[in-house]
Structure 1
Amino acid sequence: MIYTTKFGVLARRSTWRWGTITFAAAAVLGVLLAVVLAACGPSGAGRVGVASDGGQASGAAGLGGAPTGGGDSGSAGSGEPQTGGSGDDPDHPDGGGSGDGGDGGDGGELEPPVQPAAEDCVTYDPANLTIEQSGDAWRMRDGGHAIKLFATKTDAEDGVKVARNWTRLCFIGRGNDRADRHRYIITYFQGPSGLPFGPAPHFDCITYDPAELAVHGPDGDGWGLRAAATPLLFLASAADAERARLVAAGNTRLCLIGHGNGQPDPSRYQLEYWRQ
Protein backbone atom coordinates (compact mmCIF):
# COMPACT_ATOMS: atom_id res chain seq x y z
CA MET A 1 0.00 0.00 0.00
CA ILE A 2 1.14 3.56 -0.58
CA TYR A 3 0.69 4.49 3.03
CA THR A 4 2.96 1.61 4.26
CA THR A 5 5.99 2.15 2.14
CA LYS A 6 8.73 4.62 3.13
CA PHE A 7 8.74 6.35 -0.18
CA GLY A 8 4.94 6.48 -0.33
CA VAL A 9 4.65 8.29 2.97
CA LEU A 10 7.40 10.66 2.10
CA ALA A 11 5.77 11.47 -1.22
CA ARG A 12 2.43 12.31 0.39
CA ARG A 13 4.00 14.51 3.02
CA SER A 14 6.12 16.35 0.34
CA THR A 15 3.05 17.08 -1.73
CA TRP A 16 1.21 18.56 1.25
CA ARG A 17 4.13 20.74 2.27
CA TRP A 18 4.53 22.24 -1.25
CA GLY A 19 0.82 22.93 -1.50
CA THR A 20 0.90 24.77 1.83
CA ILE A 21 3.91 26.86 0.80
CA THR A 22 2.34 27.70 -2.58
CA PHE A 23 -0.92 28.84 -0.96
CA ALA A 24 0.90 31.03 1.54
CA ALA A 25 3.01 32.65 -1.17
CA ALA A 26 -0.07 33.37 -3.27
CA ALA A 27 -1.77 34.96 -0.29
CA VAL A 28 1.23 37.19 0.39
CA LEU A 29 1.46 38.24 -3.27
CA GLY A 30 -2.25 39.01 -3.32
CA VAL A 31 -1.90 41.26 -0.27
CA LEU A 32 1.11 43.05 -1.80
CA LEU A 33 -0.73 43.54 -5.10
CA ALA A 34 -3.73 45.01 -3.30
CA VAL A 35 -1.48 47.45 -1.43
CA VAL A 36 0.23 48.54 -4.67
CA LEU A 37 -3.08 49.03 -6.47
CA ALA A 38 -4.45 51.00 -3.56
CA ALA A 39 -1.40 53.29 -3.59
CA CYS A 40 -1.37 53.92 -7.35
CA GLY A 41 -5.07 54.01 -8.04
CA PRO A 42 -7.65 56.57 -6.84
CA SER A 43 -5.27 58.61 -4.66
CA GLY A 44 -2.77 58.99 -7.52
CA ALA A 45 -5.52 60.20 -9.83
CA GLY A 46 -6.55 62.64 -7.15
CA ARG A 47 -3.11 64.23 -7.09
CA VAL A 48 -3.16 64.67 -10.88
CA GLY A 49 -6.53 66.29 -10.58
CA VAL A 50 -5.28 68.79 -7.99
CA ALA A 51 -2.39 69.79 -10.23
CA SER A 52 -4.80 70.40 -13.13
CA ASP A 53 -7.20 72.41 -10.99
CA GLY A 54 -4.30 74.44 -9.69
CA GLY A 55 -3.43 75.49 -13.23
CA GLN A 56 -7.00 76.64 -13.90
CA ALA A 57 -7.09 78.57 -10.65
CA SER A 58 -3.94 80.40 -11.66
CA GLY A 59 -5.55 81.48 -14.94
CA ALA A 60 -8.64 82.79 -13.18
CA ALA A 61 -6.47 84.83 -10.82
CA GLY A 62 -4.94 86.53 -13.84
CA LEU A 63 -8.43 87.76 -14.74
CA GLY A 64 -8.91 89.36 -11.39
CA GLY A 65 -11.17 86.62 -10.08
CA ALA A 66 -13.59 86.68 -13.01
CA PRO A 67 -15.77 83.57 -13.12
CA THR A 68 -14.73 80.93 -15.60
CA GLY A 69 -16.79 80.95 -18.77
CA GLY A 70 -17.15 84.76 -18.80
CA GLY A 71 -14.84 85.06 -21.76
CA ASP A 72 -12.71 82.97 -24.08
CA SER A 73 -11.74 79.89 -22.09
CA GLY A 74 -8.54 79.50 -24.08
CA SER A 75 -7.38 82.98 -23.13
CA ALA A 76 -8.47 82.55 -19.53
CA GLY A 77 -6.28 79.49 -19.18
CA SER A 78 -3.22 81.54 -20.17
CA GLY A 79 -3.62 83.91 -17.23
CA GLU A 80 -3.62 86.99 -19.49
CA PRO A 81 -5.94 89.91 -18.53
CA GLN A 82 -8.97 90.24 -20.82
CA THR A 83 -10.11 93.53 -22.35
CA GLY A 84 -13.60 92.32 -23.20
CA GLY A 85 -16.16 91.11 -20.71
CA SER A 86 -14.58 92.82 -17.72
CA GLY A 87 -17.05 94.33 -15.33
CA ASP A 88 -15.47 97.79 -15.57
CA ASP A 89 -16.19 98.33 -19.28
CA PRO A 90 -18.38 101.45 -19.36
CA ASP A 91 -20.24 100.17 -22.43
CA HIS A 92 -20.92 96.74 -20.90
CA PRO A 93 -21.62 97.31 -17.18
CA ASP A 94 -23.07 93.83 -16.91
CA GLY A 95 -19.57 92.43 -17.29
CA GLY A 96 -19.36 90.92 -20.72
CA GLY A 97 -22.55 90.41 -22.62
CA SER A 98 -21.12 89.93 -26.11
CA GLY A 99 -17.95 88.14 -25.13
CA ASP A 100 -16.19 89.88 -28.02
CA GLY A 101 -13.02 91.23 -26.50
CA GLY A 102 -12.08 93.22 -29.61
CA ASP A 103 -15.04 95.59 -29.87
CA GLY A 104 -15.81 95.65 -26.17
CA GLY A 105 -12.35 96.98 -25.34
CA ASP A 106 -12.79 100.30 -27.17
CA GLY A 107 -15.66 102.24 -25.65
CA GLY A 108 -15.26 105.22 -28.01
CA GLU A 109 -16.21 103.19 -31.10
CA LEU A 110 -19.49 102.17 -29.50
CA GLU A 111 -20.64 105.73 -28.75
CA PRO A 112 -23.09 107.32 -31.20
CA PRO A 113 -21.18 109.37 -33.81
CA VAL A 114 -21.30 113.14 -33.43
CA GLN A 115 -23.28 114.85 -36.18
CA PRO A 116 -21.41 117.80 -37.72
CA ALA A 117 -22.86 121.26 -37.33
CA ALA A 118 -24.94 122.46 -40.26
CA GLU A 119 -23.16 124.55 -42.87
CA ASP A 120 -23.48 128.33 -42.36
CA CYS A 121 -22.43 130.22 -45.50
CA VAL A 122 -22.97 133.59 -47.18
CA THR A 123 -22.75 134.08 -50.94
CA TYR A 124 -20.91 137.05 -52.46
CA ASP A 125 -19.79 138.35 -55.85
CA PRO A 126 -16.02 137.74 -56.05
CA ALA A 127 -15.65 140.32 -58.82
CA ASN A 128 -17.19 143.03 -56.63
CA LEU A 129 -14.94 142.79 -53.56
CA THR A 130 -13.47 145.98 -52.12
CA ILE A 131 -11.86 147.13 -48.88
CA GLU A 132 -12.49 150.23 -46.80
CA GLN A 133 -11.14 151.62 -43.58
CA SER A 134 -13.41 151.29 -40.55
CA GLY A 135 -12.06 153.09 -37.49
CA ASP A 136 -8.72 151.48 -36.63
CA ALA A 137 -9.50 148.43 -38.80
CA TRP A 138 -10.18 147.55 -42.44
CA ARG A 139 -13.29 145.89 -43.82
CA MET A 140 -13.76 143.66 -46.88
CA ARG A 141 -17.05 144.32 -48.62
CA ASP A 142 -19.23 143.00 -51.43
CA GLY A 143 -20.96 146.19 -52.51
CA GLY A 144 -23.09 147.21 -49.54
CA HIS A 145 -22.47 143.97 -47.59
CA ALA A 146 -19.65 143.68 -45.06
CA ILE A 147 -17.82 140.37 -45.38
CA LYS A 148 -14.90 140.40 -42.96
CA LEU A 149 -12.98 142.73 -40.63
CA PHE A 150 -9.15 142.88 -40.63
CA ALA A 151 -6.61 144.60 -38.39
CA THR A 152 -4.51 146.10 -41.20
CA LYS A 153 -4.87 147.17 -44.83
CA THR A 154 -2.35 144.49 -45.89
CA ASP A 155 -4.42 141.79 -44.22
CA ALA A 156 -7.58 143.10 -45.91
CA GLU A 157 -5.88 143.07 -49.33
CA ASP A 158 -4.70 139.49 -48.75
CA GLY A 159 -8.27 138.62 -47.77
CA VAL A 160 -9.55 139.90 -51.12
CA LYS A 161 -6.85 137.95 -53.01
CA VAL A 162 -8.09 134.72 -51.42
CA ALA A 163 -11.82 135.46 -51.46
CA ARG A 164 -11.94 136.33 -55.18
CA ASN A 165 -11.19 132.67 -55.98
CA TRP A 166 -14.45 131.60 -54.34
CA THR A 167 -18.14 132.52 -54.17
CA ARG A 168 -19.13 131.63 -50.59
CA LEU A 169 -17.65 132.37 -47.19
CA CYS A 170 -18.66 129.81 -44.55
CA PHE A 171 -18.55 129.99 -40.78
CA ILE A 172 -18.20 127.39 -38.04
CA GLY A 173 -19.42 128.37 -34.59
CA ARG A 174 -20.92 131.73 -35.54
CA GLY A 175 -23.91 131.05 -33.27
CA ASN A 176 -21.93 130.32 -30.09
CA ASP A 177 -22.81 132.42 -27.04
CA ARG A 178 -19.49 132.42 -25.22
CA ALA A 179 -18.06 135.61 -23.77
CA ASP A 180 -15.06 135.47 -26.17
CA ARG A 181 -17.21 134.19 -29.03
CA HIS A 182 -14.86 135.24 -31.87
CA ARG A 183 -12.25 132.82 -30.57
CA TYR A 184 -14.61 129.97 -31.49
CA ILE A 185 -15.62 131.21 -34.96
CA ILE A 186 -13.75 129.60 -37.88
CA THR A 187 -14.05 130.51 -41.56
CA TYR A 188 -13.57 128.63 -44.83
CA PHE A 189 -14.48 129.13 -48.50
CA GLN A 190 -16.62 127.17 -50.95
CA GLY A 191 -17.65 127.35 -54.61
CA PRO A 192 -14.69 128.10 -56.92
CA SER A 193 -15.31 131.33 -58.85
CA GLY A 194 -13.40 130.45 -62.00
CA LEU A 195 -11.84 133.93 -62.05
CA PRO A 196 -8.20 134.15 -63.16
CA PHE A 197 -5.80 133.90 -60.27
CA GLY A 198 -4.65 137.30 -59.11
CA PRO A 199 -1.54 138.15 -57.11
CA ALA A 200 -0.82 135.56 -54.44
CA PRO A 201 -1.42 136.60 -50.85
CA HIS A 202 1.12 136.19 -48.10
CA PHE A 203 0.71 132.54 -47.07
CA ASP A 204 0.84 131.73 -43.37
CA CYS A 205 -0.08 128.04 -43.23
CA ILE A 206 0.18 124.91 -41.10
CA THR A 207 0.77 121.73 -43.11
CA TYR A 208 -0.77 118.52 -41.78
CA ASP A 209 -1.64 114.96 -42.76
CA PRO A 210 -5.44 114.57 -43.18
CA ALA A 211 -5.18 110.92 -42.06
CA GLU A 212 -4.02 112.10 -38.62
CA LEU A 213 -6.97 114.42 -37.91
CA ALA A 214 -8.85 113.81 -34.66
CA VAL A 215 -11.19 115.71 -32.36
CA HIS A 216 -10.26 115.89 -28.68
CA GLY A 217 -12.44 117.07 -25.86
CA PRO A 218 -14.07 118.48 -24.10
CA ASP A 219 -10.72 120.05 -23.27
CA GLY A 220 -11.17 122.95 -20.89
CA ASP A 221 -13.89 125.14 -22.41
CA GLY A 222 -14.10 123.52 -25.84
CA TRP A 223 -13.07 120.85 -28.31
CA GLY A 224 -9.75 120.76 -30.11
CA LEU A 225 -9.02 119.66 -33.67
CA ARG A 226 -5.54 118.16 -33.97
CA ALA A 227 -3.41 116.43 -36.58
CA ALA A 228 -1.43 113.92 -34.53
CA ALA A 229 0.22 116.10 -31.84
CA THR A 230 -0.25 119.38 -33.78
CA PRO A 231 -3.14 121.56 -32.52
CA LEU A 232 -5.07 123.20 -35.35
CA LEU A 233 -8.30 124.75 -34.06
CA PHE A 234 -10.39 125.22 -30.93
CA LEU A 235 -14.18 124.90 -31.23
CA ALA A 236 -17.16 125.64 -28.97
CA SER A 237 -18.93 122.29 -29.43
CA ALA A 238 -18.34 118.72 -30.55
CA ALA A 239 -20.60 119.35 -33.58
CA ASP A 240 -18.53 122.39 -34.61
CA ALA A 241 -15.32 120.38 -34.19
CA GLU A 242 -16.71 117.61 -36.39
CA ARG A 243 -17.64 120.12 -39.10
CA ALA A 244 -14.09 121.53 -38.96
CA ARG A 245 -12.66 118.01 -39.19
CA LEU A 246 -14.71 117.30 -42.34
CA VAL A 247 -13.50 120.49 -44.01
CA ALA A 248 -9.90 119.88 -42.98
CA ALA A 249 -10.02 116.28 -44.26
CA GLY A 250 -10.26 117.49 -47.87
CA ASN A 251 -7.13 119.64 -47.58
CA THR A 252 -3.56 119.56 -46.33
CA ARG A 253 -2.92 123.13 -45.14
CA LEU A 254 -4.71 125.42 -42.73
CA CYS A 255 -3.87 129.04 -43.52
CA LEU A 256 -4.50 132.25 -41.62
CA ILE A 257 -4.64 135.93 -42.45
CA GLY A 258 -4.16 138.34 -39.57
CA HIS A 259 -2.55 135.84 -37.24
CA GLY A 260 -0.74 137.64 -34.42
CA ASN A 261 -2.51 140.98 -34.91
CA GLY A 262 -2.35 143.40 -31.98
CA GLN A 263 -6.08 144.10 -31.56
CA PRO A 264 -7.69 143.66 -28.11
CA ASP A 265 -9.85 140.84 -29.56
CA PRO A 266 -7.40 139.34 -32.09
CA SER A 267 -9.64 136.41 -33.14
CA ARG A 268 -12.19 138.84 -34.55
CA TYR A 269 -9.64 140.12 -37.09
CA GLN A 270 -8.34 136.74 -38.24
CA LEU A 271 -9.47 134.83 -41.34
CA GLU A 272 -8.95 131.06 -41.66
CA TYR A 273 -9.00 129.21 -44.96
CA TRP A 274 -7.81 125.83 -46.24
CA ARG A 275 -5.58 124.86 -49.14
CA GLN A 276 -4.78 121.50 -50.71
Structure 2
Amino acid sequence: MIYTSSGVGSARRWIRWWPAATAVTAVALGGLLLLALVACGSGTGRLSGHPDAADATGSAGLGGAPAATGSSGEPQTGDDDGGAEHDPGGSGGDSSGDGGDGGPEVTAAAEDCVGYDPANLTIQQQGDAWLMRDGNHAIKNFATKVDAEDGVKVARNWTRICYIGRGNDRPDRHRYIITYFQDPSGLPFGPAPHFDCIPYDPAELAVHGPDGDGWGLRAAATPLLFLASAADAERARLVASGNRQLCVIGQGNGMPDPARYQLEHWRQ
Protein backbone atom coordinates (compact mmCIF):
# COMPACT_ATOMS: atom_id res chain seq x y z
CA MET A 1 0.00 0.00 0.00
CA ILE A 2 1.25 3.56 -0.74
CA TYR A 3 0.49 6.37 1.74
CA THR A 4 0.40 10.03 0.75
CA SER A 5 1.51 12.86 3.00
CA SER A 6 -2.06 13.95 3.67
CA GLY A 7 -2.86 10.47 4.86
CA VAL A 8 0.14 10.53 7.15
CA GLY A 9 -1.02 13.75 8.70
CA SER A 10 -4.45 12.33 9.29
CA ALA A 11 -2.96 9.27 10.84
CA ARG A 12 -0.82 11.37 13.11
CA ARG A 13 -3.84 13.35 14.25
CA TRP A 14 -5.77 10.02 14.95
CA ILE A 15 -2.88 8.64 16.93
CA ARG A 16 -2.74 11.82 19.00
CA TRP A 17 -6.51 11.58 19.91
CA TRP A 18 -6.70 7.77 20.29
CA PRO A 19 -6.05 7.55 24.05
CA ALA A 20 -8.75 10.09 24.84
CA ALA A 21 -11.27 8.45 22.52
CA THR A 22 -10.53 5.05 23.98
CA ALA A 23 -11.06 6.31 27.52
CA VAL A 24 -14.39 7.91 26.64
CA THR A 25 -15.55 4.77 24.88
CA ALA A 26 -14.55 2.58 27.81
CA VAL A 27 -16.43 4.80 30.22
CA ALA A 28 -19.51 4.74 28.02
CA LEU A 29 -19.42 0.95 27.60
CA GLY A 30 -18.85 0.49 31.32
CA GLY A 31 -21.88 2.62 32.08
CA LEU A 32 -24.05 0.66 29.70
CA LEU A 33 -22.86 -2.61 31.17
CA LEU A 34 -23.54 -1.39 34.68
CA LEU A 35 -27.08 -0.31 33.72
CA ALA A 36 -27.72 -3.72 32.15
CA LEU A 37 -26.51 -5.55 35.26
CA VAL A 38 -28.66 -3.40 37.55
CA ALA A 39 -31.72 -4.04 35.38
CA CYS A 40 -31.17 -7.82 35.37
CA GLY A 41 -30.53 -7.96 39.09
CA SER A 42 -33.71 -6.01 39.81
CA GLY A 43 -35.81 -8.43 37.69
CA THR A 44 -34.33 -11.51 39.32
CA GLY A 45 -35.00 -10.17 42.78
CA ARG A 46 -38.68 -9.60 42.02
CA LEU A 47 -39.21 -13.16 40.65
CA SER A 48 -37.63 -14.91 43.59
CA GLY A 49 -39.17 -12.66 46.21
CA HIS A 50 -42.75 -12.36 44.92
CA PRO A 51 -45.28 -13.97 47.29
CA ASP A 52 -47.06 -15.73 44.41
CA ALA A 53 -43.93 -17.31 42.98
CA ALA A 54 -43.26 -21.07 43.30
CA ASP A 55 -41.26 -23.47 41.22
CA ALA A 56 -41.92 -27.14 40.45
CA THR A 57 -40.14 -28.30 43.60
CA GLY A 58 -41.46 -25.63 45.93
CA SER A 59 -44.26 -25.80 48.49
CA ALA A 60 -46.87 -26.26 45.80
CA GLY A 61 -45.55 -29.77 45.09
CA LEU A 62 -45.85 -31.66 41.86
CA GLY A 63 -49.61 -31.49 41.90
CA GLY A 64 -49.63 -27.70 42.00
CA ALA A 65 -51.41 -27.33 45.36
CA PRO A 66 -49.97 -27.69 48.86
CA ALA A 67 -51.21 -30.64 50.93
CA ALA A 68 -53.71 -29.62 53.59
CA THR A 69 -52.55 -30.17 57.15
CA GLY A 70 -54.49 -30.45 60.36
CA SER A 71 -53.59 -29.31 63.83
CA SER A 72 -51.27 -32.29 64.20
CA GLY A 73 -49.29 -31.19 61.16
CA GLU A 74 -50.02 -34.39 59.26
CA PRO A 75 -51.96 -34.54 55.97
CA GLN A 76 -55.71 -34.61 56.45
CA THR A 77 -57.61 -37.47 54.81
CA GLY A 78 -61.18 -38.69 54.81
CA ASP A 79 -64.29 -36.73 55.73
CA ASP A 80 -64.95 -33.74 57.96
CA ASP A 81 -64.89 -35.98 61.03
CA GLY A 82 -61.13 -36.34 60.85
CA GLY A 83 -61.01 -39.24 58.46
CA ALA A 84 -62.71 -41.70 60.76
CA GLU A 85 -64.04 -44.71 58.96
CA HIS A 86 -67.77 -45.42 59.16
CA ASP A 87 -69.06 -48.77 60.31
CA PRO A 88 -72.04 -49.69 58.09
CA GLY A 89 -72.95 -52.54 60.45
CA GLY A 90 -73.42 -50.23 63.41
CA SER A 91 -72.17 -50.88 66.93
CA GLY A 92 -72.98 -53.71 69.30
CA GLY A 93 -72.69 -57.43 68.80
CA ASP A 94 -69.47 -59.05 67.70
CA SER A 95 -69.97 -59.79 64.03
CA SER A 96 -72.21 -59.04 61.13
CA GLY A 97 -73.31 -60.66 57.88
CA ASP A 98 -75.25 -59.69 54.80
CA GLY A 99 -78.31 -61.87 55.42
CA GLY A 100 -77.36 -64.29 52.63
CA ASP A 101 -79.48 -62.42 50.06
CA GLY A 102 -77.30 -59.36 49.47
CA GLY A 103 -79.34 -57.26 51.91
CA PRO A 104 -78.06 -54.79 54.51
CA GLU A 105 -75.54 -55.97 57.06
CA VAL A 106 -77.01 -57.31 60.29
CA THR A 107 -75.42 -57.25 63.74
CA ALA A 108 -75.79 -60.51 65.67
CA ALA A 109 -78.02 -60.52 68.73
CA ALA A 110 -76.16 -60.31 72.02
CA GLU A 111 -75.44 -63.58 73.78
CA ASP A 112 -77.95 -64.67 76.46
CA CYS A 113 -76.30 -67.29 78.69
CA VAL A 114 -76.86 -68.76 82.16
CA GLY A 115 -74.19 -70.55 84.20
CA TYR A 116 -74.83 -73.76 86.13
CA ASP A 117 -72.99 -76.46 88.09
CA PRO A 118 -72.64 -79.46 85.74
CA ALA A 119 -71.93 -81.80 88.67
CA ASN A 120 -75.24 -80.85 90.29
CA LEU A 121 -77.61 -81.62 87.41
CA THR A 122 -80.68 -83.72 88.14
CA ILE A 123 -84.00 -84.51 86.48
CA GLN A 124 -87.41 -84.31 88.08
CA GLN A 125 -90.85 -85.24 86.81
CA GLN A 126 -93.23 -82.31 86.70
CA GLY A 127 -96.76 -83.13 85.59
CA ASP A 128 -96.56 -84.88 82.23
CA ALA A 129 -93.03 -83.58 81.53
CA TRP A 130 -89.50 -83.88 82.93
CA LEU A 131 -87.39 -80.99 84.14
CA MET A 132 -83.58 -80.75 84.12
CA ARG A 133 -82.41 -78.78 87.16
CA ASP A 134 -79.30 -77.38 88.81
CA GLY A 135 -80.41 -77.56 92.43
CA ASN A 136 -83.45 -75.29 92.61
CA HIS A 137 -82.69 -73.72 89.25
CA ALA A 138 -84.83 -75.04 86.38
CA ILE A 139 -82.89 -75.33 83.11
CA LYS A 140 -84.95 -77.19 80.51
CA ASN A 141 -88.22 -79.11 80.02
CA PHE A 142 -88.34 -82.46 78.22
CA ALA A 143 -91.23 -84.60 77.03
CA THR A 144 -89.82 -87.91 78.33
CA LYS A 145 -87.45 -89.20 80.99
CA VAL A 146 -85.13 -90.59 78.29
CA ASP A 147 -84.89 -87.15 76.67
CA ALA A 148 -84.20 -85.54 80.06
CA GLU A 149 -81.43 -88.04 80.78
CA ASP A 150 -79.87 -87.35 77.37
CA GLY A 151 -80.10 -83.65 78.15
CA VAL A 152 -78.09 -84.16 81.35
CA LYS A 153 -75.47 -86.23 79.48
CA VAL A 154 -74.89 -83.33 77.10
CA ALA A 155 -75.16 -80.49 79.63
CA ARG A 156 -72.68 -82.00 82.11
CA ASN A 157 -69.90 -81.43 79.57
CA TRP A 158 -70.41 -77.65 79.80
CA THR A 159 -70.94 -74.90 82.38
CA ARG A 160 -73.23 -72.46 80.54
CA ILE A 161 -76.40 -72.84 78.55
CA CYS A 162 -77.20 -70.07 76.05
CA TYR A 163 -80.44 -69.09 74.39
CA ILE A 164 -81.15 -67.44 71.06
CA GLY A 165 -84.50 -65.68 70.74
CA ARG A 166 -85.60 -66.02 74.35
CA GLY A 167 -86.86 -62.43 74.29
CA ASN A 168 -89.17 -62.84 71.27
CA ASP A 169 -92.85 -62.01 71.74
CA ARG A 170 -94.37 -64.31 69.12
CA PRO A 171 -97.54 -66.21 70.12
CA ASP A 172 -95.65 -69.49 69.55
CA ARG A 173 -92.47 -68.09 71.08
CA HIS A 174 -90.80 -71.45 71.87
CA ARG A 175 -90.64 -72.20 68.14
CA TYR A 176 -88.12 -69.36 67.84
CA ILE A 177 -85.93 -70.19 70.88
CA ILE A 178 -82.70 -72.11 70.19
CA THR A 179 -80.17 -73.40 72.74
CA TYR A 180 -76.42 -74.05 72.70
CA PHE A 181 -73.69 -74.64 75.30
CA GLN A 182 -70.45 -72.89 76.21
CA ASP A 183 -67.36 -73.34 78.41
CA PRO A 184 -66.33 -77.00 78.77
CA SER A 185 -66.64 -78.39 82.30
CA GLY A 186 -63.69 -80.76 82.17
CA LEU A 187 -65.77 -83.50 83.79
CA PRO A 188 -65.12 -87.07 82.60
CA PHE A 189 -67.34 -88.06 79.71
CA GLY A 190 -70.28 -90.10 80.86
CA PRO A 191 -72.48 -92.41 78.80
CA ALA A 192 -73.11 -91.00 75.34
CA PRO A 193 -76.61 -89.67 74.69
CA HIS A 194 -78.66 -90.61 71.66
CA PHE A 195 -77.50 -88.25 68.93
CA ASP A 196 -80.03 -86.99 66.41
CA CYS A 197 -77.97 -84.66 64.24
CA ILE A 198 -77.91 -82.92 60.87
CA PRO A 199 -74.41 -82.68 59.34
CA TYR A 200 -73.54 -79.58 57.31
CA ASP A 201 -70.64 -77.68 55.79
CA PRO A 202 -69.93 -74.46 57.76
CA ALA A 203 -68.75 -72.77 54.55
CA GLU A 204 -72.27 -73.11 53.12
CA LEU A 205 -74.09 -71.39 56.01
CA ALA A 206 -76.28 -68.43 55.10
CA VAL A 207 -79.17 -66.50 56.59
CA HIS A 208 -82.26 -66.12 54.39
CA GLY A 209 -85.32 -64.07 54.97
CA PRO A 210 -87.63 -63.03 55.89
CA ASP A 211 -89.08 -66.44 55.03
CA GLY A 212 -92.75 -66.07 55.85
CA ASP A 213 -92.82 -64.78 59.42
CA GLY A 214 -89.18 -65.43 60.35
CA TRP A 215 -85.59 -65.83 59.23
CA GLY A 216 -84.04 -69.11 58.17
CA LEU A 217 -80.55 -70.46 58.67
CA ARG A 218 -79.51 -72.83 55.89
CA ALA A 219 -76.46 -74.75 54.82
CA ALA A 220 -76.74 -74.63 51.02
CA ALA A 221 -80.23 -76.05 50.35
CA THR A 222 -80.54 -77.71 53.78
CA PRO A 223 -82.75 -75.79 56.26
CA LEU A 224 -81.36 -75.85 59.80
CA LEU A 225 -83.18 -73.34 62.01
CA PHE A 226 -85.98 -70.79 62.00
CA LEU A 227 -85.54 -67.56 63.99
CA ALA A 228 -87.72 -64.60 64.91
CA SER A 229 -85.33 -61.88 63.68
CA ALA A 230 -82.36 -61.33 61.40
CA ALA A 231 -80.19 -60.58 64.46
CA ASP A 232 -81.15 -63.90 66.08
CA ALA A 233 -80.46 -65.73 62.82
CA GLU A 234 -77.04 -64.10 62.57
CA ARG A 235 -76.21 -65.20 66.13
CA ALA A 236 -77.23 -68.75 65.22
CA ARG A 237 -75.01 -68.58 62.13
CA LEU A 238 -72.03 -67.55 64.24
CA VAL A 239 -72.55 -70.46 66.63
CA ALA A 240 -73.09 -72.92 63.78
CA SER A 241 -69.98 -71.71 61.93
CA GLY A 242 -67.74 -73.20 64.61
CA ASN A 243 -69.29 -76.66 64.30
CA ARG A 244 -70.36 -79.26 61.76
CA GLN A 245 -73.47 -80.87 63.21
CA LEU A 246 -76.70 -79.48 64.61
CA CYS A 247 -78.23 -81.95 67.08
CA VAL A 248 -81.65 -81.97 68.73
CA ILE A 249 -82.92 -83.85 71.77
CA GLY A 250 -86.68 -84.39 71.87
CA GLN A 251 -87.38 -83.85 68.18
CA GLY A 252 -90.75 -85.32 67.17
CA ASN A 253 -92.20 -85.35 70.70
CA GLY A 254 -95.99 -85.41 70.86
CA MET A 255 -96.51 -82.46 73.19
CA PRO A 256 -99.02 -79.73 72.24
CA ASP A 257 -96.12 -77.22 72.07
CA PRO A 258 -93.32 -79.52 70.84
CA ALA A 259 -90.64 -76.81 70.44
CA ARG A 260 -90.79 -76.13 74.19
CA TYR A 261 -89.46 -79.65 74.90
CA GLN A 262 -86.57 -79.67 72.41
CA LEU A 263 -82.92 -79.00 73.27
CA GLU A 264 -80.56 -77.96 70.46
CA HIS A 265 -76.79 -78.40 70.73
CA TRP A 266 -73.87 -78.43 68.31
CA ARG A 267 -71.10 -80.94 67.65
CA GLN A 268 -67.93 -81.00 65.57
TM-score normalized with structure 2 length? 0.62
Query: Paired residue for 1:205, among 176, 187, 197?
Result: 197
What is the rounded CA distance, in whole Å, between the counterparts of 1:110 and 1:154 in structure 2?
Answer: 43
3-state secondary structure, aligned to 2:206: strand
3-state secondary structure, aligned to 1:161: helix
- Pairing 1:194-233 to 2, within 5 Å after superposition: 194-233=186-225
Counterpart of 1:178 in structure 2 is: 170
Counterpart of 2:226 in structure 1 is: 234
- 2:255 is equivalent to residue 263 of structure 1: yes
Query: Paired residue for 1:136, among 124, 128, 132?
Result: 128
3-state secondary structure, aligned to 1:141: strand
Distance 1:109 1:229, change over 3 A: closer
- 2:156 is equivalent to residue 164 of structure 1: yes
3-state secondary structure, aligned to 1:147: strand
What is the rounded CA distance, in whole Å, between the counterparts of 2:108 and 2:218 in structure 1?
Answer: 16
What is the rounded CA distance, in whole Å, between the counterparts of 2:179 and 2:217 in structure 1?
Answer: 14
Bigger RCO of structures 1 and 2 (CA < 8 A, at least 6 apart): 2
What is the rounded CA distance, in whole Å, between the counterparts of 1:113 and 1:163 in structure 2?
Answer: 33
What is the rounded CA distance, in whole Å, between the counterparts of 2:224 and 2:133 in structure 1?
Answer: 28
What is the rounded CA distance, in whole Å, between the counterparts of 1:115 and 1:241 in structure 2?
Answer: 10
- Pairing 1:91-170 to 2, within 5 Å after superposition: 112-170=104-162
User: 1:109: how far off?
Assistant: 8.6
Unaligned segments of structure 2, at least 5 residues: 1-97
Distance 1:112 1:156, change over 3 A: same
3-state secondary structure, aligned to 2:107: coil
Q: Deviations over 1:121-167 (max 9, x none)?
A: 00000000000000000000000000000000000000000000000
What is the rounded CA distance, in whole Å, between the counterparts of 1:219 and 1:207 in structure 2?
Answer: 22
What is the rounded CA distance, in whole Å, between the counterparts of 2:104 and 2:164 in structure 1?
Answer: 22
What is the rounded CA distance, in whole Å, between the counterparts of 1:221 and 1:151 in structure 2?
Answer: 27
3-state secondary structure, aligned to 2:240: helix
What is the rounded CA distance, in whole Å, between the counterparts of 1:257 and 1:207 in structure 2?
Answer: 15
3-state secondary structure, aligned to 1:214: strand
Q: CA RMSD in A?
A: 1.4
3-state secondary structure, aligned to 1:259: coil
3-state secondary structure, aligned to 1:218: strand
Unaligned segments of structure 1, at least 5 residues: 1-105
What is the rounded CA distance, in whole Å, between the counterparts of 1:234 and 1:148 in structure 2?
Answer: 20
What is the rounded CA distance, in whole Å, between the counterparts of 2:186 and 2:120 in structure 1?
Answer: 14
3-state secondary structure, aligned to 1:242: helix
User: 1:112: how far off?
Assistant: 4.0
Q: Number of residue pairs matched? A: 170
Counterpart of 1:92 in structure 2 is: none
TM-score normalized with structure 1 length? 0.60
Q: Deviations over 1:195-244 (max 9, x none)?
A: 00000000000000000000000010000000000000000000000000
Distance 1:240 1:109, change over 3 A: closer
Identical columns (%)? 85
Distance 1:114 1:154, change over 3 A: same
What is the rounded CA distance, in whole Å, between the counterparts of 2:246 and 2:133 in structure 1?
Answer: 23
